Amino acid sequence: MTQETIVGLLVSVLEFGTLLYLAALGETIAEKAGVLNLGVEGMMAVGAMASFWIGAETGNPWLALLFAVVVTAAFSLIHGLASVVIGADQVVSGLALTILGLGLAAFFGQSLALTTVLSTARFSALDLGPLSDIPWIGETLFSIDALSWLALSLGAVTWFVLTRTRMGLSLRAVGESAATADAAGTKVAATRLTAVAIGGGFAGAAGTYLSLVLSPGWSEGATGGLGWIAVALVIFGAWKPGRVLFGSLLFGGLIALGPRLQTFRCQDGEDIACLNFDADPTLVSMLPYILTVIVLIILSVRSRNRPSIAPAAIGLAYRREER
Amino acid sequence: MTSTRKALLALLTILALVAAACGSSADTATEGTDEAETEESSEGTDGGESDVRAAFVMVAPVGDAGWNFQHDLGRQGAEAATGAETAFVENIPEGGAEFDEAVQNFIDDGFNVIFATSFGYQDATLRFAEENPDVTFEHISGFLMNDTNMGNTFGRMYQPRYIAGMAAGAATESNTIGYVAAFPIPEVIRGINAFALGVQAVNPDAVVEVNWTSTWFGIPEETAAAQALIDSGADVLSMHQDSTATGQAISEAGGTFIGYHSDMSAQVDAYLTAPVWNWTPRYSEIIEAVEAGTYTPEAWWGGMVDGVVDIEVPESSPVASEMQDVKDSILQGEFDVFDQGQVIAQDGTVIIDDGIIQTELTNPFDPDAVVASEGDEIHDGVLLNMNFFVDNVVGEIG
């Protein structure tokens, strides 16, 4: 491994990590309010298609991002309507959202598959002047694009709002015990719908990252399972924005590492670290899910004698008249 | 739950199912047929009247600039050339009931030629052929056939791949060319070897580094593989995949992209050229043969001379004239990609020397089955069972 290959790996980790983080952060917010949303894969597809469409039409990435966030947030409210307002099973409704989203994105994106997007419509690296010249960090962290910085800031904002504000307290209360929150005067349905819509908006931003940064373009099936990794990440991150960030970088790292295991070879003289091992790339691509299962086991063993770390009301519909 | 709520929920479910269908086959089946019917009413515009009604079954959407896109262009081309009515369904999974459903619908509607354009359709296609002796079936990219009404068709993509390799060998400055590959099967391996031999012909110092994705279509996987190859030093990338993700990654890195399937210049900034499919001549030929009653099933493996595969020689390439010479020689039947001096495997073993096999070769899926023995002349079996990398390829099979 030379410095270039390690820097290249870290850049890839940051790219895949950012994408996963945006989606997983949104899912964290929805789940904190007690709404499991398995529609992330579909929402991400809608966001990717919508942002690529506007990006290709206008050449403005921010307009594309805004459009994708709004459209995906609105789209996610279908799940909100079904699971929060009507009280349908969250698992079924979320799965339906994924199927619906993949179908709608494929349908409305049909004419986009053969178009390309102007380079101005892509989010590119921010120019941080001398900071970018710092070895290692300059080429990796200080070379990330505007949307990645936005994702990091959103993570900090989410953490602050969830843990340090009354609004966050209400949201968490709704996710822990909707009846108690209701008695305390919190509007349960409105809070949950807001959380779902914010989660949708975040998934739309993740889709934007996919179609305007990671691999500029749109075609049916572009999300390729990244949305499901994001759902697993929330559990892995124990519903905490900071741990979810760690998990995103770890899982993003595994995605980036898989193909690199085929290219790392020991070269005389050039190496600063020499790895020469045979790892099956399919095994590496399973690792995020294996890790999630392990974390789930650890969490449930640990929570035997104390309250579960998961929001207590997750998956439960709330109807005041059934109290 | 109140009845209003139940009704709303039912509505949502239906909406979801309808949208899911939007992305798949249901509507396009009728769409294709409608379109074909319209053309039937204005029959005989250019190709003349035809009794043949040809239906195409595709594994993925036709609008993706990949494998299926080219098949749809072939369908349209054959329709224009022969005047036959055509229809298609897209997004039909391999090995599922959807394929049976789609084919049976076409047969019930009176279609008498069925083109099944994905490898995994071949067993079901053979079954349909046995059950429907009056319908002609042509399967693409497989090996099954019968004596009466089912043949198979494929193209010698390794020929334009060799020429593409020449363009890549001339374009690289780092002498590392990356190749994002799908699965380690003979078709893909043969393409990589032909490409690498083309590279070697113009640039003996360059290597072709292979990265496997284990998917035919996976934008995250292809992007990660392309980035890995770029970090490993590649400044030119090619691929055996169905998306343009490899092209997007190398565009970002400022390198050169050699595509596959179709002209991807509109989607990829770094596009130089691509070995492409062109199914129009073959589809027209089959439709005309059925029309004339002369169709006989064969295992047809056409080359550049038949027009089924092709590559555009990019004017800007420093080896454009050499590429054109090879192209002309292939078209005249004077150049065989694997019959050029020595073909040496990664471990140094000479496999082929001036068209003579130097070491025993076996079937990769059945190591006991000998494909060619020492002293044999090279034949198609050697190419169809190829399971070694030539010596300027970096990477392992599998």
Q: Which of A95, A263, A264 to mutate to test the interface with B (most CBs of B within 10 A)?
A: A263
**Would you state the pLDDT for residue B23?**
46
Give the chain A residue nearest B181 (alpha carbons). A259
Let me know: does A126 contact A149? Beta carbons within 8 Å: yes
Distance between CA atoms of B311 and A99, rounded to whole angstroms?
Answer: 39
| One-letter amino acid of B40 | E
Instruction: Check CB contact of A90 with chain B, cutoff 8 Å.
Output: no
Instruction: Check CB contact of A283 with chain B, cutoff 8 Å.
Output: no
Q: What is the pLDDT of residues A111-149, one digit of tens each?
A: 887 676 666 778 877 777 788 788 888 888 888 889 999
Let me know: does B77 contact B283? Beta carbons within 8 Å: yes
Within 8 A by CB and 6+ apart from A162, the residues are A29, A32, A168, A171, A172, A241
Let me know: does B323 contact B198? Beta carbons within 8 Å: no
Distance between CA atoms of A207 and A218, rounded to whole angstroms?
Answer: 10
User: Which of A19, A43, A22 lies closest to A210, judged by CA?
Assistant: A19
For residue B224, the chain A residues in CB contact (below 8 A) are: 12, 16, 255-256, 258-259
Let me know: does B136 contact B294? Beta carbons within 8 Å: no
**Would you state the pLDDT for residue B48?**
56
For residue B244, the chain A residues in CB contact (below 8 A) are: 217, 219
Instruction: Check CB contact of A102 with chain B, cutoff 8 Å.
Output: yes
Given an 8 Å threshold on Cβ–Cβ distance, is A114 in contact with B1?
A: no
Give the chain B residue nearest A83 (alpha carbons). B9
Answer yes or no: same fold for B48-155+279-306 and B158-274+312-394. yes
Two tokens at A46? 């809608």
- Give the confidence band of A1 by pLDDT, cuts at 50, 70, 90: low
For residue A225, the chain B residues in CB contact (below 8 A) are: 220
Lowest mean pLDDT among A12-21, A213-222, B35-44: B35-44
φ, ψ dihedrals at A66, nearest 5° = -60, -45
**Would you state the pLDDT for residue A239?**
93
Two tokens at B190? 């043969």
**Would you state the pLDDT for residue A279?**
62
Given an 8 Å threshold on Cβ–Cβ distance, is B231 in contact with A9?
A: yes
Give the chain B residue nearest A321 (alpha carbons). B1
φ, ψ dihedrals at B179, nearest 5° = -140, 110
Instruction: Check CB contact of A154 with chain B, cutoff 8 Å.
Output: no
Q: Which helix (H) or strand (E) holds B190?
A: helix B186-202
Q: How far is A192 from chain B (nearest CA, A)?
A: 18
Q: Tell me what the mean pLDDT of segment A17-37 comes to.
A: 97
Within 8 A by CB and 6+ apart from A195, the residues are A29, A30, A32, A33, A35, A171, A174
- Give the confidence band of A292 by pLDDT, cuts at 50, 70, 90: confident
Which residues partner with B350 through β-bridges? B344
In CATH, the number for domain A3-322 is: 1.10.3470
Q: Which helix (H) or strand (E) holds B356?
A: strand B356-357
Pick the CATH number of B158-274+312-394 from 3.40.50.2300, 3.30.930.10, 3.40.50.20, 3.40.1670.10: 3.40.50.2300
Give the chain B residue nearest A118 (alpha carbons). B269
Distance between CA atoms of B361 and B381, rounded to whole angstroms?
Answer: 10
Q: Tell me what the mean pLDDT of segment A216-243 comes to.
A: 91
Given an 8 Å threshold on Cβ–Cβ distance, is B214 in contact with A282?
A: yes
For residue A281, the chain B residues in CB contact (below 8 A) are: 212, 214
From the list A5, A215, A216, the residue facing B232 with the nearest CB is: A5
In CATH, the number for domain B48-155+279-306 is: 3.40.50.2300
Task: Report residue B254 CA to chain centroid gap.
Answer: 27
Q: Is B302 exposed, middle or buried (0-12, 13-18, 19+ CB in 10 A)?
A: middle
Distance between CA atoms of A294 and A315, rounded to whole angstroms?
Answer: 22
pTM above 0.90, yes or no: no
Q: In chain A, where are the structural domains located?
A: 3-322
For residue A11, the chain B residues in CB contact (below 8 A) are: 227
Q: How far is B64 from chain A (nearest CA, A)?
A: 5
Q: How far is A262 from chain B (nearest CA, A)?
A: 6
pLDDT in tens, chain B (398 residues): 455 555 555 555 555 555 554 444 433 333 334 333 333 333 334 445 678 999 999 988 787 778 999 999 999 999 999 999 999 998 898 888 999 999 999 999 999 999 999 999 999 999 999 999 999 999 999 999 999 999 999 999 999 999 999 999 999 999 999 999 999 999 999 999 999 999 999 999 999 999 999 888 889 999 999 999 999 999 999 999 988 999 999 999 999 999 999 999 888 999 999 999 999 999 999 999 999 999 999 999 999 999 999 999 999 999 999 999 999 999 999 999 999 999 999 999 999 999 999 999 999 888 899 999 999 999 999 999 999 999 999 998 87
